[in-house]
Structure 1
Amino acid sequence: MQTRFLAIGELTETPATAVVIDVMRAFTTAAWAFAQGAERIVLAESLDGALELKARHPGWIALKDGPPAPGFDAVNSPGRIRDTDLTGRTVVQKTTAGTVGALAVRGAELVLCASFVVAGATARALHGRPDVTFVVTGEDGRAEEDLACARYIAHRATGATPDPAPHLRRAAESTAAAELAQGVREGVHPDDVRLCLELDRFDFTMAAAPEDGLMVLRPYGEDGR
């Protein structure tokens, strides 16, 4: 398997297979939303776009980075979303990096959105794919936690069994982890960093694809659904 690790701004063409990485916290929060029963997650282009979708569909749950804000129902925090019953609900998610990365590769044949909590399932979904582009969303492609997760998934996708400890340690020592732990970022739960570092917490990965003009994220199992 040939792999590339690119920042969002380094994408010059649409890859066939893209894995969009956002460990802290978009695609950890998304995984928890599915675990709490969400049917699908609509990836919004902008905050205004998220609010417009919410206005057209009052039953949808709108989620954003940072502190609570008028019109939004939740914030981008796995610690906060894990206690929310989302059974059968549609979530609209807009974040600074993760959703932007997924929208940037919307034309790919397969777009997987990943973090450590779905690393193993993501690696299995990549089996047999000859060319994979990992989109490292945080800090213009320099986020240590996203690079660590991307490298781990890429290695594991070859059929190897890499030691996760160095990768998790690299993520735990990242700038993002420090900012979350110190409360520099808003809308944080005290358990967020720990939850973002729970390797293989869930037995599914997540695939994004166009649906009715929207980019929609859904659980994606080994059976391709």
Structure 2
Amino acid sequence: MEIQILQLLEGARQAQGLTVIIDVFRAFSVACYAFDGGVERIYPVGQIELAYQLKKQHPDYLLVGERNEQKPEGFDFGNSPSQLVSTQLAGKTMVHTTSSGTQGIVNATGADEIISGSFVNADAIIQYIRQRQPEKLSLVCMGYACQQPTDEDTFLAEYIKAKLLDEPVDFPTMVERLRHGAGARFFVPEKQSWAPAVDFDLCLDLDRFNFVLKVEREEDLYFLKKIEL
């Protein structure tokens, strides 16, 4: 298996084979919590205008996501797992748009197959890759607003690669580095309304879920499908 770690939008565009689009803080952690809470389908979209259009066409859809980390006007929820864990989501359809993760999905046009990447379902991702045994595996780290690489996404790519190669990996050290580095923003008092400290822990709750989220296509829209392992 040829494994490559790629970064940002250019990485998504270069991705080949089985592709994992990674967004730990917070898009694909949010998506996992949403499915665990009972959401039936998630449409990941790049453009916020499309999200608003889908909501207009289907008023019962939930709009979830962010721009500049904060909930856009008219959205039901921001890009925060803490807002979803205590919410009744059974049977709901969700439209999800973010500055990083969902952009990766719509730009990975050369991939044979796409799944989302987060620490909360890392072991399921690794199991799925082992089952599929692709010739090429692309681990795409979407970074902060697709503008700069981030430790949390790169750490997950390195974690997945190490596990697949049966190499040692120190997850607790990764968490501590994130707590004092890229994740420090979750502990800033003035950001608690949209980036609360609890999101840090929820996004790094390793292997909480035993499913992967696979990207499928329906006409002109992508959607995420939950695959239990």
- Provide the TM-score with structure 2 as the length reference: 0.88
SS in 1 for 2:201: helix
Alignment CA distance shift 1:164-1:69 (3 Å):
closer
Alignment CA distance shift 1:21-1:87 (3 Å):
same
Instruction: Give the Å deviation of 1:196.
Output: 1.0
Matched with 2:87 is 84
Matched with 1:196 is 203
Contact 2:17 2:135 in 1 (8 A): no
Matched with 2:157 is 150
CA deviations 1:50-100 (Å, max 9, x no partner) are 010111011110012143443211110011111111111111000010110
Alignment CA distance shift 1:106-1:218 (3 Å):
farther
Matched with 1:6 is 6
SS in 1 for 2:197: coil
| 1:166 and 2:173 are equivalent in the alignment | yes
Matched with 1:17 is 18
Matched with 2:135 is 130
2:76 maps to amino acid: D
Instruction: Give the Å deviation of 1:159.
Output: 4.8
Select the residue among 207, 218, 221 that pairs with 2:214. Answer: 207
Contact 1:43 1:217 in 2 (8 A): yes
Contact 2:211 2:227 in 1 (8 A): yes
| 1:34 and 2:35 are equivalent in the alignment | yes
SS in 2 for 1:75: coil
Q: CA RMSD in A?
A: 1.9
SS in 2 for 1:191: helix
Contact 2:9 2:107 in 1 (8 A): no
| Mapped partners of 2:45, 2:14: distance in 1 | 21
| Mapped partners of 1:190, 1:209: distance in 2 | 33
Unaligned runs of 5+ in 2: none
1:23-102 superposed matches below 5 A: 23-65=24-66, 66-102=69-105
| Mapped partners of 1:38, 1:85: distance in 2 | 9
2:112 maps to amino acid: E
| Mapped partners of 1:47, 1:10: distance in 2 | 21
Q: How many residues align?
A: 221
Matched with 1:121 is 124
| The 10-residue stretch of structure 1 (111-120 or 207-216) with the greater mean CA deviation from structure 2 | 207-216
| Mapped partners of 1:45, 1:10: distance in 2 | 15
SS in 1 for 2:155: helix
Alignment CA distance shift 1:18-1:186 (3 Å):
farther
Identity %: 30
1:2 maps to amino acid: E
Contact 2:20 2:139 in 1 (8 A): yes
Contact 2:71 2:79 in 1 (8 A): no
1:202 maps to amino acid: F
Contact 1:75 1:187 in 2 (8 A): yes
- Provide the TM-score with structure 1 as the length reference: 0.90
SS in 2 for 1:138: coil
SS in 1 for 2:87: coil
